[in-house]
A and B are shown apart, each in its own frame.
Chain A
Amino acid sequence: AQKITQTQPGMFVQEKEAVTLDCTYDTSDQSYGLFWYKQPSSGEMIFLIYQGSYDEQNATEGRYSLNFQKARKSANLVISASQLGDSAMYFCAMREGSDYGQNFVFGPGTRLSVLP
């Protein structure tokens, strides 16, 4: 079974508009972390934002915010005021709680294209 589902293979957004990238996850652990990474065409993986399962507030980092709905097991990324440089692949990832550390499971990604 898929642990991380990203149902939007591709998304388009107009520059300066907000966009939401969907992510749902599957875990039976009580302690876990959710992450979003950006991969531009140059290929590097850039960490964007983190949400812990026990965090009560939604995480925010500049123009990025994470809409965390624990009961629905969703962790959608919201990008406000899109910029052309936001065009990239976006990956949702989960770290399940474990004393042995931090195996991340990644979703298949969403390709975001920002239109001028």
Chain B
Amino acid sequence: NAGVMQNPRHLVRRRGQEARLRCSPMKGHSHVYWYRQLPEEGLKFMVYLQKENIIDESGMPKERFSAEFPKEGPSILRIQQVVRGDSAAYFCASSSGLIYEQYFGPGTRLTVT
């Protein structure tokens, strides 16, 4: 029973490049959440998606960031024209509508040089 999978685990991008982070939820889970964790800080909610729908994107920066969860395939968090301040750990979590806890993936550590 595979858990939440994220890839890549580590991603290095130069300023101005695009970063694409992928998340495959646990089997049977249709709710996906993305969080960002800056060094020495807690997790900050970014976006909540169900299949083909963005339910809540109140934590997403207005520019350069987008997320999708297509009918087939993983959820993608896309950061365009990355800047040094985007360097962080990005966690994906999934849940079933029937289960309260969110299960987290291992995270993707993005470093912008």
Selected from B31, B44, B104, B109, the residue in CB contact (under 8 A) with A101 is B31
* Size class of the contact patch on chain A: 20 to 34
Q: Mark A7-47, 1 if CB is under 8 A from B, else 0.
A: 00000000000000000000000000101010000011111
Contact flag A37-B104 (CB < 8 Å), given A91-B43, A101-B56, A103-B48: yes
B28 within 8 A of A: no
Chosen A-B contacts, 27 in total, with CB atoms closer than 8 Å, are A35-B100, A43-B89, A43-B107, A43-B109, A45-B43, A45-B91, A45-B93, A47-B102, A47-B104, A50-B100, A52-B100, A100-B48, A101-B31, A101-B48, A101-B97, A102-B33, A102-B100, A103-B58, A104-B35, A104-B45, A106-B42, A106-B43, A106-B44, A106-B45, A107-B42, A108-B42, A109-B41
B residues 16-63 in Cβ contact with A at 8 Å: 31, 33, 35, 41-45, 48, 55-56, 58
| B72 at interface, CB cutoff 8 A | no
Q: Say whether B95 faces chain A, with CB atoms less than 8 Å apart.
A: yes
Min distance, Cβ B103 to any Cβ of chain A, angstroms: 7
The contact of B104 among A45, A50, A52, A109, by CB within 8 Å, is: A45
The residue on B at minimum CB distance from A42 is B106
The 9 nearest A-B residue pairs measured at CB: A45-B104, A106-B42, A106-B43, A108-B42, A44-B106, A47-B101, A109-B42, A33-B100, A43-B107
Any chain B CB within 8 A of the CB of A88?
Answer: no
Query: Hey, which chain B residues are within 8 Å of A106, CB to CB?
Result: 35, 42-45
Give chain B residues whose Cβ lies under 8 Å from the Cβ of A37.
104
Shortest A98–chain B CB gap in Å is: 9
